[in-house]
Amino acid sequence: MKKNMPVPIKTEAVKEWVLDKNHLSYWLRQLRKDFELVAPLRERNDIVLKRIDRIHEIALDCPASIPSPKEFLFPQFEPMLTKGTDGISDLRDGSKRVIFGVRSCDVSAVNLLDKFYLSGIADPYYESRRKNTLFISLVCNVPDGTCFCAGLGTGPYLKTGYDIQLYDLGDRYLLQAGSKDAERLVGRHRFLMRKPSKTDHEDQYEAQASSKAMFAERISLEGARQMITDGKVADDFWQDVAERCFECGGCVYECPLCTCFSVIDRKYNAGPADEQVERSRLWDACMFKGFTGMAGGALPAEKRILRTKRWFYHKLIYYPETLGAFGCTGCGRCTITCPGKIDMASVVHRMGNEYSKG
Ligand code: SF4
Ligand code: SF4
């Protein structure tokens, strides 16, 4: 360690502790007594987020999971209510859950989902899950080659907006609590922790610098937004992008910030005396031709170029206008998922090459 190493500027509001790595699994076991514990684990060649039964299965030496934590706040399929002869039963999920080991970009995504689902009239199903979920995120020290959060300020570490944030300092973690709920949760197991020293903060500074340095590519979403609003990006560009789309919906499903859904009603146990109807919602995708279909059969977005263009416009133009931030955290999942090589990073990169001059 160099002498006089600068240390991160910390606001007084942030409460910090140090947890020896030998105590991590005991701490998680304690948390599991009161919460469903969800964490990343390896399944064949994938990293997935799942309820954890065996602590030693948690995989922290890996990039962000696929799918994203969105699944636990806005599930792919969510029963909402049933209606039968006994009346209406509300099925909203209020399970107490800790999601451990997610990356900073995904916490940034949840902050934006909160704005989307909870501003104005709150979505009660999202709200119920969200207020019972606490995230313990890990500052990213193993980014994938597809990640570009560092240039967007959505990672690899966060200054605000986290519940509990962990810095990996080798043999120990520096914990930061960003909310009163988080402080209370840590407070229950303070006997496992100590206050950070100057050396811990110096190591934290090094961890910040080295994690940022791992991101080679800088993608300018602001540059792309500007080119679009200046009218520089021709429809030929979008046509070329759209021609490579297979309409699989993978980009929408895997993106931690895509929020399209449909609602369906199904009858079951149908009979004259016992008819039950279940109402559920399930992910839908604006990339599908039928998504904006109307009862009379009209398809306002029948042409693929309209849907492809809208996906990018939504993230680059409408999200900043309505929620104050880009609808992209640089997680790189669309790069991994899209079979047509249409993804935020490559489209923005190509836009820059074609239109940034002149
Ligand atoms: S657009 Fe792509 S890189 Fe951006 S948040 Fe969505 S999946 Fe991640
Ligand atoms: S993942 Fe790619 S191919 Fe599939 S719908 Fe999205 S843009 Fe089209």
Asked whether the whole model's pTM tops 0.85, one would answer yes
* Residue 2 pLDDT class (50, 70, 90 cuts): very low
Read off φ and ψ for residue 58, nearest 5 degrees. Answer: -65, 135
> Domain range for residue 305?
221-258+285-355
What digits encode the pLDDT tens for the residues 284-321? Answer: 999 999 999 998 999 989 999 999 999 999 999 999 99
Whether residue 248 sits in one domain with residue 117: no
Ligand 1 surroundings by CB, under 6 angstroms: 254-257, 315, 328-334, 343-344
Report the DSSP beta bridge partners of residue 279: 81, 265
70 plus 87 within the same structural domain: yes
Q: What is the 3 state secondary structure string of 245-309? A: CCCCCHHHHHCCCCCCEEEEEEEECCCCCCCEEEEEEEECCCCCHHHHCCCCCCCCCCCHHHHHH
Same domain? For 226 and 151 the reply is: no
Among residues 216, 223, 69, the alpha carbon closest in space to that of 150 is found at 216
Residue nearest (by alpha carbon) to ligand 1 atom 8: 331
1 is a domain residue: no
CB atoms within 10 A of CB 57: 13
Pair (158, 227) in one structural domain: no
Which is it for strands 133-138 and 97-103: parallel, antiparallel or unpaired? Answer: parallel
Which atom of ligand 2 lies closest to the CA of 244? 3
Distance from the CA of 332 to the center of ligand 1, in angstroms?
5
pLDDT tens by residue, 144-154: 888 999 999 99
For a ligand 2 pocket test, name from 238, 239, 244, 245 the mutation site with the most ligand atoms within 8 angstroms of its C-beta. 245
Residues 6+ apart with CB under 8 A from 200: 18, 169, 172, 174
Whether residue 240 sits in one domain with residue 177: no
* Distance from the alpha carbon of residue 225 to the mean position of ligand 2, in angstroms: 21
Quote the number of domains for the chain. 2
